[in-house]
Structure 1
């Protein structure tokens, strides 16, 4: 009889443990689904209207959350949400960039290094399909004084991005430091805002200059290489 009771107790404990595990899995899946809905809604709204103009409440509503505090509960501050969106895309872009670096090694061919800067972003956007919002989101964040420094600092924590920038700089050893800094900013803005504009046109179904993201990348590479090789005019 004692043995039977012990067996029944074991069955009960096993069933209870299984129920608890299942319940936790369901809650975790629900939380993950909610977080993904918030990330998608925030990315779209920030891309279309700017980060400052969009409240956490608007993001919650667009994500289908009845609780207006859902953003704060799942992500914390708006800055935390912006960083979460950036991190979501950074992983795939980093992987593509690392593949490019592995292929070109220590080349001094400027075009290959610029391609390692441009193509990971354009390939990622192509893989996302249409419509996408990431390029416009990134362009909005880069022009917002409240988030610009945070995003730039996070980006420069990427070893692969630093390696690409070092590769570009290594192709022009005689270029003055202040010109390097200036053209790096110009190149970054040209890349992000050109991609944002193409993304906007595609989302609207409007005509675009080039038929694919790959073709657009080729044009961007040409332009950025030309920017880096442009003459330096010293004025008094």
Structure 2
């Protein structure tokens, strides 16, 4: 039974890695379970369904596997800035943990592109929200940021929150794609890329609001 359990765990991990790569490269619904099983070297083409059930459960497992490490990094960062009233400190707690995790994954990685694919799908966005965006460390970072923000009209605050989320999802995905393609990047490393993103989002929150028509 132990050998069987170990073999099952290995198969499960291989499917997760393969599915993440294919979803990142082609899109979540452009890849069938059969294609994932075959690319993972499984003779049983129903292996994905056997180990994970639905497509949603598979996506959830991929997100959960990364979120735990990202949470650990964010908790460490929050401990350093707790009590701060600087917008930049809390924006960094939102941006840098993912960048640090992607750096640790090496090149090529697929999680940033996978995340972008999931966040653009209305039916799967909730999975990312539950597993990643709803993490305690992220909630703490958002709560730390909220009192630091300027007094903005509710509609402007909502609009800029959407803009910031788009930047945090798609900028890392574009960089990850460039690295995978061997293309030149504006910033040399993930740390510097995160610095640029923190600068941009901080500036977004502090930008003036134009009144009137």
Structure 2 residue aligned with 1:50, among 17, 20, 27?
A: 27
* TM-score, scaled to structure 1: 0.87
Using the TM superposition, name which of 168-177 and 215-224 deviates more.
Answer: 168-177
Larger Rg over CA atoms? 1
- Tell whether 2:108 aligns with 1:152: no
Task: Indicate if the aligned counterparts of 1:56 and 1:71 stay in contact, CA closer than 8 A.
Answer: yes
Q: What SS is found at the alignment partner of 1:52?
A: helix
- Tell whether 2:164 aligns with 1:184: no
Q: Which runs of 5+ in 2 are unaligned?
A: none
Structure 2 residue aligned with 1:140, among 117, 131, 136?
A: 117
CA distance 1:129–1:156, shift in 2 (3 Å): closer
Cα distance in structure 1, aligned partners of 2:105 and 2:200: 24
Runs of 4+ in 1 over 4 A off after TM superposition: none
Cα distance in structure 2, aligned partners of 1:115 and 1:214: 11
- Tell whether 2:20 aligns with 1:82: no
Cα distance in structure 2, aligned partners of 1:94 and 1:200: 24
Task: Compare relative contact order (CA 8 Å, sep 6+) and give the higher one, 1 or 2.
Answer: 2
Task: Indicate if the aligned counterparts of 1:169 and 1:180 stay in contact, CA closer than 8 A.
Answer: no
Q: Please provide the CA RMSD for this pair.
A: 1.2
* TM-score, scaled to structure 2: 0.96
